[in-house]
Amino acid sequence: MLEIQNLVKVYPGAVAALQGVSLRVPLGMFGLLGPNGSGKSTLMRILAGLLEPTSGRVVLDGVDIVAEPQRVWPQLGHLPQAFGFYPNLTGEEMLTHMLRLKGVAAPRGAPKLCAELLERVNLTAAAKRKVKTYSGGMRQRLGIAQAISGDPVLVIVDEPTAGLDPEERVRFYRLLAELAENRTILLSTHIVEDVAMLCPRFAVIRQGRLLATTTPGEAREALAGTMFEGEVARAELEELAATHLVTQAHLVEGRNRVRLHLPAGAAPPGFAAALPTLEDAYLVLTRSAGETAAALPIRAAS
Ligand code: ADP
Ligand code: MG
């Protein structure tokens, strides 16, 4: 069990990246969902013992991560958001190098451990290829191989699916889901689909504060009866988005298809009740009316 208590991080220049975050992360997969700049990487780096918080505590299975990072390191794996590669090494060479740097125990020898880890992330066939020839998904899987070396109880993965193509993303989801069967995986992301696919529980972070800790089902349920969908002309769309919380404005067959959150009052003419999605729930939590107007690519509908 990972317990985060009232974590605050103020960077030099008075950037308050975390403003009192408290969270209990159970076994299995847990999502940390938030827009860019919300403090996800800051939190991840503190958990990984790479950054000192301004105040607050982080306790992993009874051990204080901030006070005794060396004691926690062997229990912990980390795939950073910007994971550096040695392009001219083969996958096998790079992993061997990283295991050495990490000081992972290999009682049956480093080559054997390396081969097992590559097998685990489905990279055996590419072990002898240079990393520069790897796809984005293969690189992320190599990153996971080092993160899970030493069989840590907690694995932290920071935006691992950003930049992967849809097929690679699905493959990566399967790997993470398997790995979460007997450990805690904390996954940070700004992609709602990541949470929908993987996370039985998740927290939403914005501007360094947690807005909710919930499940996908609960988050959708909270919006029951408040979502409406309809089509509008381009001229009406801007006005609608300025006064209502618009969670989606899509071009469908040349027409503007819009989803609105209406906690009270009557829906505009032509709008019908719609089932809430996780995307709706996320946008309702993190945005207010007017803000979505600027954030959604509604002008593309011209
Ligand atoms: P996320 O990972 O959710 O995109 P970050 O944790 O990277 O968010 O950043 C949170 C906030 O802290 C942002 O406003 C960012 O600009 C700021 N920030 C991040 N790293 C530093 C740093 N080293 N020095 C100053 N400000 C930083
Ligand atoms: Mg980040």
Residues 6-19, mean pLDDT to the nearest whole number: 96
Q: How far is the CA of 299 from the centre of ligand 1 (A)?
A: 29
Pairing of the two strands 227-232 and 245-252: unpaired
The ligand 1 atom nearest the CA atom of 208? 10
For residue 74, pLDDT over 60 is answered with yes
Distance of CA 285 to the CA centre of its chain: 16
Ligand 1 atom nearest the C-alpha of 9 is 12
Atom number of ligand 1 nearest to Cα 13: 25
pLDDT score for 255: 82
Mutate to test the pocket of ligand 1, among 42, 45, 50, 78 (most ligand atoms within 8 A of CB): 42
Q: State pTM to two decimals.
A: 0.92
User: Which residue CA neighbors atom 20 of ligand 1 most closely?
Assistant: 42
The residue behind tokens 């800051």 is: 42
* End-to-end Cα distance, the chain: 50
Pocket of ligand 1 (CB under 6 A): 11, 13, 15, 17, 34, 36-42
The pLDDT of residue 236: 84
270-285: pLDDT as tens digits: 899 999 999 999 999 9
CA of 122 to the centre of ligand 1 (A): 33
Measured in angstroms, how far is the CA atom of residue 16 from the centroid of ligand 2? 15
Q: Minimum-distance ligand to the CA of 40?
A: 1
Which residues have CB less than 5 Å away from ligand 2 (the ion)?
A: 40-41, 81
Alpha-helical (H) ranges within the chain are 40-47, 69-72, 91-102, 110-120, 136-147, 166-179, 192-198, 216-221, 234-243, 278-286, 291-295
Choice among 35-49, 50-64, 192-206, 288-302 with the minimum mean pLDDT: 288-302
| Amino acid code (one letter) for 73 | W
Alpha-carbon gap, residue 103 to 280, rounded angstroms: 44
Rounded to whole angstroms, how far apart are CA atoms 162 and 190?
8
Give the span between the Cα atoms of 187 and 183, in whole angstroms.
Answer: 13
**Are 139 and 102 contacting, i.e. CB atoms less than 8 angstroms apart?**
no
Please tell me the number of the ligand nearest to residue 36's CA: 1
pLDDT tens, 186-213? 999 999 999 999 999 999 999 999 999 9
Mean pLDDT of the chain: 91
pLDDT, average across residues 80-92 = 92
